[in-house]
Amino acid sequence: KAGVTQTPRYLIKTRGQQVTLSCSPISGHRSVSWYQQTPGQGLQFLFEYFSETQRNKGNFPGRFSGRQFSNSRSEMNVSTLELGDSALYLCASSLAGQGSTQYFGPGTRLLVL
């Protein structure tokens, strides 16, 4: 079974631009979560989607948004990029039942100049 895939793997943007990252979960997984990883703040939860609905949201500004499609694929969008948005963005998928495990993708490395 294929793992979680994320595209693109690397991205360079300039301040003020916006960016969209994509995540394809493991087949059959209905929950997709996003995390931001930075050297200073570590791994921080952004949001979780389940059956096209946002089920939980972390403490990030409204510039960060996401959505999930009917095939469980998910996208996250960051508008008006800031230098501090440079990070590794990780996507994880799971079956979402009690006791289920999250499986992580390789991440998208975003550099904001």
Partner 1 sequence: AQSVTQPDIHITVSEGASLELRCNYSYGATPYLFWYVQSPGQGLQLLLKYFSGDTLVQGIKGFEAEFKRSQSSFNLRKPSVHWSDAAEYFCAVGAVAVTQKLVFGQGTRLTINP
Site residues, partner 1 (CB under 8 A): 4, 31, 33, 35, 42-45, 48, 50, 55-56, 58, 90, 92, 94, 96, 98-107, 109
- Tell me how far, at minimum, the Cβ of 36 lies from partner 1, in Å: 11
Phi/psi at 83 (5° precision): -55, -35
C-alpha–C-alpha distance, residues 44 and 28, integer Å: 25
Supply 81's token pair.
């990029």
C-alpha–C-alpha distance, residues 91 and 4, integer Å: 8
- Tell me how far, at minimum, the Cβ of 98 lies from partner 1, in Å: 5
Q: Which is nearer to partner 1, 75 or 95 (CB)?
A: 95
Q: Which is nearer to partner 1, 24 or 33 (CB)?
A: 33
Show the DSSP H helices in the chain as ranges.
none
- Tell me how far, at minimum, the Cβ of 8 lies from partner 1, in Å: 14
